[in-house]
Amino acid sequence: MINLEVPRKFRGFVNQAHQVAAEMLRPNSRKYDLAEHAYPKELDMLAAMVDGLSASGAGSGAGATGVRQAEDNGDDGKVRNGSHLSSVLSIMEMCWGDVGLLLSMPRQGLGNSAIASVADAEQHKRFDGLWAGMAITEPGTGSDSANIETTAVRDGDDYVLNGEKIFVTAGDRCDAVVVWATLDKSLGREAIKSFVVTKGTPGMTVERLEHKLGIRASDTATIRFESCRVPAANLLGSPDIDTGKGFAGVMQTFDNTRPLVAAMAVGCARASLELTRDLLKDAGVEVDYDRPAALQSSAAATYLAMEADWEAAYLLTLQAAWMADNGKPNSLEASMAKAKAGRVGNDITLRCVELAGSVGYSEHELLEKWARDSKILDIFEGTQQIQQLIVARRILGKSSAELR
């Protein structure tokens, strides 16, 4: 049974993450929002500290690299609070500080989570310490990852990749990217596999960096692959095309990464709520938790409604992570958490800007930045619409062909 309190063994680590967010990330938030594409050098020291904590076991479950496949299925009846829950809790705190800077941290990319999710023991060891971005989205493919056009053709001990990927987070700074490609277009989604492609591999080119609405501290790249040879050993998971499981195996990555993105939205929204409450108090608006919302000012009632939405997103995120730790299938819950947190995170940050008026819209406070940053959290790792579609399919028992 899930316990809604932060597990005792994680409290020290979560407090450390909050302290880092307060003392390092938030003070540099505006600086790197204005200096788009400039690398935040302050993060090198922070990344080294996180690596040290993880190596010692004191910070097990830090960020994306903490996500691991369940070592057992949890059938012994014991409740586990493991790396998935630890990861979402730490990410919430870090994104309370700054989402863009969290996404810029070395070795904490979503590609790292993909490796942690599906790599075998030998690959875990070989790719340890690698900073990996995630390359899924392509021009013209829309939100359906099954329509991927990038190809991977076996040639001896290598695969030859051809195609173009867009919106690759940390695509310029990372050491490698996890690339989704199809082994055979005629077989559809079942033939899609993921490959670890290290930077500097001949045929891999970073074409450009995108200018963005938010998360400007994080670089977002377009990458082209032209006759790019990748060792066959860099294919994550089984190289066999299984028509019963092929695409599902790759999609397991999302079951781990979607709760992480939900946690980002929860952390950013919490920052907005806390600052807005202080600003309302300074303006003489008190939020009274002992009185019905209908008997309070419009601003206070709006704030209470936002807090309720935030609480739902927070609990759904914890549930998805907890289920993964305990070996329970969480595809439905991961999509529910991502859908709820992505939507309400953006709604909350925008509404906080409105409640704060001119102060919220100006650069005097970080509210306007959080509103910009939060939008991407409703888009990447599966858009709001895709998440709702996945949830509907799961609840109704429909296939992707039956419910589009």
Backbone angles phi, psi at 235, to 5 degrees: -75, 125
Element (H, E) at 162: strand 158-169
Cα–Cα distance for residue pair 374/10, rounded to 1 Å = 26
Are 132 and 119 spatial neighbours (Cβ–Cβ below 8 Å)? no
Cα–Cα distance for residue pair 144/247, rounded to 1 Å = 12
Which of 138, 333, 365, 381 is catalytic? The answer is 381
DSSP code at position 175: S
**Three-state DSSP class for 58?**
coil
CA distances to 16, 73, 93, 387 from 8, rounded to whole Å, are: 14, 23, 16, 32
With vertex at residue 21, the alpha carbon angle to CA 279 and CA 87, rounded to the nearest 5 degrees, is 120
Cα–Cα distance for residue pair 53/49, rounded to 1 Å = 6
**Three-state DSSP class for 207?**
strand
Q: Is 381 a catalytic residue?
A: yes
Residue type, 317: T
Dihedral of CA 199/204/207/209: which sign?
negative
Element (H, E) at 164: strand 158-169
Q: Which residue has the tokens 């020290």?
A: 12
Count how many residues are written for the chain. Answer: 404
Q: Which residue has the tokens 């630890």?
A: 86
Catalytic residues: 381
